[in-house]
Amino acid sequence: MASHTHHVVVVGGSFGGVNAAYQLRRKLGDRVDVTLISAEADFTFIPSLPWVMMGWRKPEAIKVPLAGPMRRRGVSFIHDRATAIDPQAQTATTAGGKIFSYDHLVLATGSELDWSNVPGSDPAMGAVHSCFTVEQAVAAREAIARFLASDGGQAIVGASPGASCIGPAYELIMMLDTALRRQKRRHLFDLHLVTPEPFLGHFGLNGIGNMSRLLEDEFRSRHLNWTINAALARIDTGTATLAEGTEMPMDLAVLIPAFYGAQVVRDVEGLGNPRGFIPTDKHLRSTKYPNIYAVGVSVAIAPPVPTPVPVGVPKTGHMSEEMATRAAANISVEVTGSGEPVDALTLPITCLTDAGDVAFYIKAEPFLPPRNLAAIRRGVRYHYLKLAFERFYLEKVKRDLPGMHFGW
């Protein structure tokens, strides 16, 4: 009697999904059929989108088509959007009507952007730009180019209440400063960070080491203004209004919204929490459906401490990759019946936050406090390290290379 080939379906083609597919193939070989379903044909190195916004990188330079690399690794690649999951039947269905059966399902479904809590903040309305897709980055690039070429003005860069990926706002406001200083026109512009965090460098993690003090020093040396505990309440053309009534004039606005979990998760009763993120055990198994694993942004992680204005916990590219590696290891344990599952939520974090001229190297282990390690470094070398890492990581995706991990 022929043995059963184990079927694993992975949904999502970014850091978590790509690495989960590669790791499953590497760990289990021909014991499994691995299918990757992705709404995007390309992997995009999202940490480089601020460079695209500044006109320092072309969009095509930070993409890798996924079909070829997946085929070479023996992974079936489906360029389509997953629209339905049936945990009882153990199937995933795509917009094209294809149905895929699974023994294990890995959801690396990321997030959807929630503009609803700040009226007027949706980029489609024209007053605000954002940085989570190539299309958004290109639209912002054009607005930023006009702003930098103007006779002077005011920029607001920041995040809405509940936002959980605030790092790019810090990068962008420092990059704007760098670009204007290179033009010797910095004195004509006001740059203002508006953040729901209770202090600079909180990042939804209650801070990392002495990052808050370092960022305050950095912002003061660059003459950047900031407002913390900021609850943006409304955006109109030319004005941002905070909940306590302060009106802030602006010629450019770039904002990071709060996130929802993916619609395909929200449509399954009991799979996601009220925001659509997936509660898991420490092995990344859904608490409702144990043969469904979640990795990356789709995982529900509670903030370490309450804050006056809500701030979400970020899931960086490094964290998503770590989760994918550990989820694959735990699926391997289940498939082979050997070994012990690993804790997949006590994660390290490594990040390079770029300012256009220098960068900050940030390492913390575990990512939530209290920590065994928190290290911060600043310097020009880390700016060039991030440039080099972008190139390395794109090759890593093309070739399934082992090695370094950095990212938002």
Which residues does the annotation mark as catalytic?
Answer: 165, 351
Q: CA separation (Å) from 380 to 27, 314, 355?
A: 38, 25, 10
Q: What are phi and psi of 360, to 5 degrees?
A: -105, 130
Q: What is the rounded distance in angstroms from the CA atom of residue 78 to the CA atom of residue 158? A: 36
Using omega within 30 degrees of 0 as the cis cutoff, is the peptide bond preceding 306 cis? no
Q: Please name which of 254, 41, 68 lies closest in space to residue 147, comparing C-alpha atoms.
A: 254
Q: What is the rounded distance in angstroms from the CA atom of residue 36 to the CA atom of residue 73? A: 12
Q: What is the rounded distance in angstroms from the CA atom of residue 24 to the CA atom of residue 13? A: 15
Q: What is the rounded distance in angstroms from the CA atom of residue 60 to the CA atom of residue 403? A: 24
Which DSSP string corresponds to 358-373?
Answer: -EEEEEEESSSSS-SE
Q: Are 78 and 35 in contact, with CB atoms under 8 Å apart? A: yes
- Using the structure block, give the residue that is written with the tokens 């601020």: 50
Q: Are 73 and 155 in contact, with CB atoms under 8 Å apart? A: no
Residue 108's contacts (CB-CB under 8 Å, 6 or more residues apart) are 10, 11, 12, 14, 15, 16, 17, 20, 294, 295, 296, 298, 320, 324
